[in-house]
Amino acid sequence: MTYDYNTQRKRMALPEYGRNVQKMVDHIKTIQDPEERNRAARTIIQIMGNLNPQIKDSGDFRHKLWDHLAIIADFNLDIESPFTMPERSKLVEKPKQIPYRQGDIRYLHYGRIVEMMIDAAAKMEDSEEKVYLINLIVNQMKKSYVTWNRSQVSDEVILGDLKLLSGGRIKIPEGIKILEVRELVPPVKKKPQQGRPHGKMPNKPFNKRKGHIRH
């Protein structure tokens, strides 16, 4: 007896469409009549759309279906597509690496964005908007600190780091409100214990049956 295992079959380019779609695409490659081959391709596109309905949420879903058909056919399918067929080289091309500077960040737990915000606040003229921005920066610094270190931190440490990062250009406004840690970082919820609790089981009430009461 010969068994047909998935490990012995041809690898599917897009497994989400299933083995039957892969077989249909392989079959239309063998159709000699161009008109019949194009008609079969349009039928497969409809089947693929029904098998992958979530793709219809995107505006160019039909374009994606034809691209997927080309991928399943290993880019070897002579049909009249309403869209330009994708190139294999474009799909396997690695994305360009985004440069990210981090060597000159003084405190990694605060991050570069906080340093940029501090620099922007230092350049602002005294105003309510500047006070508001400084208040946001201080609370964000405290939130980043406790998230990174998982420990308590005094407000004096945060204000000292702000003065250091700003190079003394930012003066702490009077009446600045620094939130408590519990207000900045929500507590971690404990997962409920599953299974039957250990210990004695609660006593169940004993129901006497009628007719069995002894006088």
DSSP string, 94-135: PPPPPP---TT-S-TTTHHHHHHHHHHHHHSPSSHHHHHHHH
* Higher pLDDT among residues 122 and 94, named by residue: 122
What are the domain boundaries of the chain? 9-92, 111-184
Considering 47-56, 152-161, 175-184, the range whose residues carry the highest mean pLDDT is 152-161
CB 147 within 8 A of CB 188: no
Report the C-alpha gap between 15 and 7 in whole angstroms: 13
DSSP string, 70-93: HHHTTT------SSPPPPHHHHHP
* Higher pLDDT among residues 198 and 132, named by residue: 132
What are the tens digits of pLDDT across the range 14-47?
888 889 999 999 999 999 999 999 999 999 999 9
What is the average pLDDT score of the chain?
A: 81
Range from 69-83, 160-174, 196-210 carrying the lowest mean pLDDT: 196-210
pLDDT reported for residue 215: 47
Report the C-alpha gap between 211 and 130 in whole angstroms: 85
pLDDT more than 70, % of the chain: 75
Report the C-alpha gap between 88 and 109 in whole angstroms: 42
Sign of the torsion formed by the C-alpha atoms of 206, 207, 209 and 215: positive
Region 102-123 average pLDDT? 84
| CA neighbours closer than 13 Å in the CB half-sphere of residue 118 | 27
C-alpha 15 chain-centroid distance: 22
What are the tens digits of pLDDT across the range 151-168?
778 899 999 999 999 999
* Higher pLDDT among residues 110 and 186, named by residue: 110
